[in-house]
Amino acid sequence: MKTTIVLLGPPGAGKGTQGEKLTDEFGYVRLSTGDMLREAVRNGTELGKKAKEYMDAGALVPNDLIINLMKEKIAGINGGVLLDGFPRTVEQADALAEQMEVDLALNFDVADEELVSRLTQRRSCPNCNAVYHLVTKKPAKEGVCDKCGAALYQRDDDKEATVRNRLEVYRKNTMPLIDYYSKKGTLVTIEGSGDIDAIFEQVKKAIQ
Ligand code: AP5
C-alpha cells in the first residue's frame, strides 16, 4: 500500500472529500495546507495574518511560508500520510522531494463549470474540517456537522468571483505538477466527476 500520497487537482476536485474517506478507512494522517492556514487565520497567528489577504483573493500564499510550515509538520509524521493542497508549485514540490519520496500523486480531473457549482454550494465544518454540499452531500441536520455537531459555514473564498480566480491560479501554478509527477512515474489521474463512493473505489485501487 502506498504510504506517501499527494492529492492533486483543481479547487473543488474532491481532494478533501476523498482524503477524508482515506483517513477514515485506512488511518492515513491528512495534512491539508488549506485547513492549517484557515485555522491560523481563525486563531490570529502571525502565519494567519500573513496568509489571509492571499487566501481572500484566491491567490497562493508565498512559497517560503508554506515550505517552512510543511517541513515542520512532515518531520513529525511516522506512517501513511496524505498531502492535500501541498505541493502547489514546482518550487514546493522540489522542497518536498528533498524531505521525502512521494509514492503516488493522485490527480482528480473535473470540468471547470462543475467545480464552480460544487464550491459555491459547499459548506465546511470549522471544527473538524469535514466538507458537505447543499445538494450532493447534505448533513443529516441542516447546517450542522454530522461528525462533531459544529455549525457549518461557507468559506470566504467559495464566492464565485474568487473561485474563478483560484481556477486561473491553479492552471498557471499547480497544473505543471501533473507533468512533474508524470515524469517521475508516480502520477495516477482519476475522473473526479460522478458518485463520490464510485470515485473512492478508483482511489482504493490506485493506493494498492
Ligand atoms: P485549499 O483549502 O487547499 O483549497 P483548494 O485546493 O482550492 O481545494 P478545496 O478545498 O477548495 O477543494 P477540494 O479539492 O478539497 O474539494 P472538496 O473535497 O472540498 O486552499 C485554500 C487557499 O489556501 C488557497 O487558495 C491558497 O490561498 C492557500 N493555500 C493552501 N495550500 C497552499 C499551498 N500549498 N501554497 C500556497 N497557498 C496555499 O469538494 C468540494 C465540494 O464538492 C464539496 O462541497 C464536496 O461535498 C463536493 N464534492 C466532492 N466530490 C464530489 C462529487 N464526486 N460529486 C459532487 N460533489 C462533490
* 169-179 per-position pLDDT tens digit: 999 999 999 99
List the beta bridge partners of residue 109: 191
C-alpha cell read off for 155 = 468559506
Give residue 84's pLDDT: 97
Tens-place pLDDT, residues 104-121? 999 999 999 999 999 999
Residue 76: pLDDT band (50, 70, 90) is confident
The answer on pLDDT for 184 being more than 90 is: yes
What percent of the chain lies above the pLDDT cut of 70?
A: 100
Phi then psi for residue 73, to 5 deg, are: -65, -45
Q: Which residues contact 119 (CB under 8 A, 6 or more apart)?
A: 11, 12, 158, 163
0.85 cut: is pTM over it? yes
Q: How confident is the model at residue 195 (pLDDT cuts 50, 70, 90)?
A: very high
User: For the domain 4-110+172-207, what is the CATH code?
Assistant: 3.40.50.300
Say whether 49 is catalytic.
no
Split at pLDDT 50, 70, 90, the class of 196 is very high
88 is catalytic: yes
| Confidence grade of residue 79 (pLDDT, cut at 50, 70, 90) | confident
Classify residue 102 by its DSSP letter. -
Ligand 1, CB within 6 Å, residue ranges = 9, 11-17, 33-34, 37, 54-55, 58-61, 66, 85-86, 88, 92, 118-119, 122, 131-133, 136-137, 157, 166, 194, 196, 199
Q: What is the pLDDT of residues 28-51, one digit of tens each?
A: 999 999 999 999 999 999 999 999
To test the pocket of ligand 1, the residue of 39, 137, 158, 193 to mutate (highest count of ligand atoms within 8 Å of its CB) is 137
* Average pLDDT over the chain, rounded to an integer: 96
Q: Which of 30, 38, 118, 122 is catalytic?
A: 122
Beta carbons of 60 and 88 less than 8 angstroms apart: yes
Using the predicted structure, report yes or no on whether residue 78 has a pLDDT greater than 90: no
Using DSSP's 3-state secondary structure scheme, residue 132 falls into strand
